[in-house]
Structure 1
Amino acid sequence: MNKQVSITPDGVEDPHEAESRRRLVYPIEQGPKVGEGVDVAPGVKWIRMPLGGSLAFINVWAIVEEGGWAIVDTGLNSEASMQAWRKAFAGVLQSKPVTRVFITHMHPDHIGMAGWLTRKFNCRLWISRLEFLMCRSLAADTGREAPPDALEFYRAAGWDQEALDTYRSRFGGFGRALHALPDSFQRMRDGDEIAIGGHAWRVVVGSGHTPEHVCLWCPELKLLISGDQVLPKITSNVSVFPTEPAADPLDDWLTSLARIKTIVPDNVLVLPAHNEPFHGLHARIDALIGGHERRLTHLRAEIAEPKRAVDVFHVLFRRKIDGNNVGMATGESLAHLNCLMARGQAVRRRDERGVDWYQAA
């Protein structure tokens, strides 16, 4: 999946981000074990679903309402997730049914079990329109061969033949991480107010990580379910993909973060999809924006001489980039390079082999 990464410039701890993390407060001392739950507010429970890999789990949220539980995010489609949900229903959820399933965005660790839950309990999926349609589109690639446009895209980024062959062999894997999606949904729009568990929750949409990412804010409970839009310890991946090679998702990301800061007050408890609930929303948003701006500055200095997308990984990533995460690293590098071009700070030239070279303007 490779959708999250902690990134710092030049492989060194960013002192600005380190200071911002010290300003965050984590009020819940002990998080739940997988399939178990912890109360975070009256009628709101924090449950963990297993992921494996560098991200061991995803946080999902259960909100009590008349007739059962509204669930926010679902975990990856896997036998381990299914067993964890069965454990939760037998334990913390007290054998009560699911009334609705809310999805923050279309990545498999968030929506993977939505089809299983909605069918099991004959309930409705709530999601933004773009997230639903994008998820359906990616799931439809299952079993397809990698399209020529995608191979050209990654060849232009500087991939060698071995990397392209690996991409071919793995193409279409997105749908295998999903239980079959429901065929209909209830749309969530930015600014909507939804009654959940006797409280009004406002839909706050962000973009950049995905096209129409939903956060849910409850002013009365002072809670913000942030999904992957704001995470306390890691930075959500912001990537360019072959389907829209000229996109500028980093500008979308930075703009939407700044907007969320003007809408949601700083006194909320943030309930993120990964890591622990925290206080300090505005400080974390400032750090995320500032961190990306510093990386753009580092990147512009790096491309004083022409570079390919694969040549700038060391500017953006602390971890080693290999065959398991080169797609994510390439997408994020292109997001930063496209942002520099959109700002008039870089230019791109394609050589006779079809490879793109970037240079500071």
Structure 2
Amino acid sequence: MATAYQRTLIGDEGLTPTSWAGLTFPFGDRGPQPGELLTVMDGVRWWRVPMSGPLKHVNGLILDDGDALLAIDTGTASPRTTEAWRAILEGPLAGQRVGRILCTHMHPDHVGLAGWLSRRFDDAGIVMTRTEWLMVRMLAADARPEVPEEQLDFWRGAGWDEEQVARGAGRGWSNFGKMIARMPLTYTRIQNGDVMRIGGSDWHVVTGNGHSPEHACLVDYDRRVLIAGDQVLPKISSNISVHVSQTNDDPLGDWLTSIAKFKTLPEDLLVLPGHGDPFYGLHTRLDALRDEHIDRLDAIVDLMGEGPVRAVDCFKVLFRRPIGPDVIGMATGESLAHLCRLEVEGRAVREVKDGVWWFGRA
């Protein structure tokens, strides 16, 4: 999911205003009210699926799909979100049937209620990319209560002190399974380059990487609209993190490659993001996201001029307020993503001392 702190760490306000300069918001401040579906264009309706946390909601989309509906992204499996779904199904969608549920990616705020919604409509089909589907299945199945030693070593490697490690261990292992409803055993795979016929329109699948492994976006070239999920957000930047399962991976490199890929899409698309308001200015926003990361990479290289650094030492140049226990996990993942990118670029070298990763200038 998009992080609540982002690189500016000013809650759900996201990046500094200059980062979204040049964007146009056709709906202004007029977003959907609770329980309301707002028509974006013929056959495409937008609603805000409420959830806990600073982001407050995820954007849900309802597309006309022949004699049924296609729902895109569902919110987390929580009483509040479930009640919101019941309200629109018994209100503005009363008497209509959801035939398919498309989840842009595997994060709980986008896939959490997909299984519940599928069962409510007699096993309505789940549509996802293969990697996102497998990640959901894997994470939901890993329900061990204790934090594994590999995770503790990961936190120590990033520079956490023993008090921070103990606090992390006290929170227990993954809550992923608690945030999603049980998924069905079958799904329909989509992949980059596919064309989905939804209602009377052709939607082209374009995948991105970095925020999640195989994030699906949809483009209707005829009506000039991009369903972007968390791949392109207007005022906050999606979390790009290294996790315990990928300590030598380069998700930030994947993210920058995806930005270049999405720059090949038309500039005049209306972007429907997973969080925030629909906007015009796709290329402007992609340039801002790219430049923000490049600036932060250079800032870390400057910091390493004072000597080798750990992931936790990078917080002061990546973020704009102290990192507390509520966001230290995400902040650590994002710091490591930048350090790993510098390794790949040949600008940093990692050395392990007493189980701690130190990164110095190459």
TM-score w.r.t. the length of structure 1 is 0.95
Secondary structure of the equivalent of 1:69? strand
CA positional deviation for 1:360 = 1.4
1:142–1:176 contact (8 Å) kept in structure 2 = no
2:237 matches 1:238: no
Give the distance between the partners of 1:54 and 1:360, measured in 2 at CA: 36
In the superposition, relative to structure 1, how do residues 40 and 334 fare at CA in structure 2: closer, same or farther (>3 Å)?
same
Tell me how far apart the structure 2 counterparts of residues 233 and 101 of structure 1 sit (CA, whole Å).
26
Find the partner of 2:214 among 212, 232, 238.
212
**Count of aligned positions:** 355
Mark the runs of 5 or more structure 2 residues left unpaired by the alignment.
none
Matching residue's letter, 2:94: Q
Q: Aligned letter for 1:57?
A: H
Q: CA deviation at 1:68?
A: 2.1
- The answer to whether structure 1 residue 356 and structure 2 residue 337 are counterparts is no
Q: Which amino acid aligns with 2:294?
A: E
Distance 2:180 2:136 in 1: 9
Report the CA distance shift for 1:5/1:202 in structure 2 as closer, same or farther (over 3 A).
farther
Residue 26 of structure 1 aligns with which residue?
25
**8 Å contact from structure 2 (residues 34, 48) kept in 1:** yes
Q: Tell me the secondary structure at the aligned position of residue 110 of structure 1.
A: helix
SS in 2 for 1:243: helix
Match of 2:110 in 1: 110
Letter in 2 for 1:130: T
Match of 1:334 in 2: 336
Question: Residue by residue, what CA displacement relative to the aligned partner does 1:169-194 show, whole Å, maximum 9, x if unpaired?
Answer: 33121110000111111001001000
**Partners of 2:174 and 2:57 in 1: CA distance:** 23
For the residues of structure 2 that align with 1:184 and 1:144, how far apart are their CA atoms?
27
Matched, 1:280 2:281: yes
* 2:58 corresponds to: 58
Report SS of the residue matched to 1:61.
strand
Runs (4 or more) in structure 1 with deviation over 3 Å come to 1-5, 17-20
- Provide the residue aligned with 1:154 in structure 2: 155
The question of 1:325 aligning with 2:324 is answered no
Report the more deviating stretch, 148-157 or 229-238: 148-157
Summarize the Cα distance change of 1:113–1:164 in structure 2 as closer, same or farther, 3 Å threshold: same
CA distance in 2, matches of 1:134, 1:253: 18
| Distance in 2 of aligned mates of 1:141 and 1:270 | 35
The 5 Å alignment of 1:1-361 reads 3-8=3-8, 18-29=17-28, 30-121=30-121, 122-168=123-169, 169-262=171-264, 264-304=265-305, 305-351=307-353, 353-361=354-362
CA separation in 1, counterparts of 2:211 and 2:6? 14
> How many angstroms apart in 2 are the aligned matches of 1:140 and 1:14?
33
**Aligned partners of 1:192 and 1:34: how far apart in 2?**
34
Q: Hey, what's the Cα distance between the residues in 2 that align with 1:22 and 1:85? A: 34
Letter in 2 for 1:56: K
**1:3: how far off?**
3.4
Amino acid at match of 1:272: P
Does the C-alpha gap of structure 1 residues 325 and 20 become closer, same or farther in structure 2, counting only changes over 3 Å?
A: closer
TM-score, normalised with respect to structure 2:
0.94
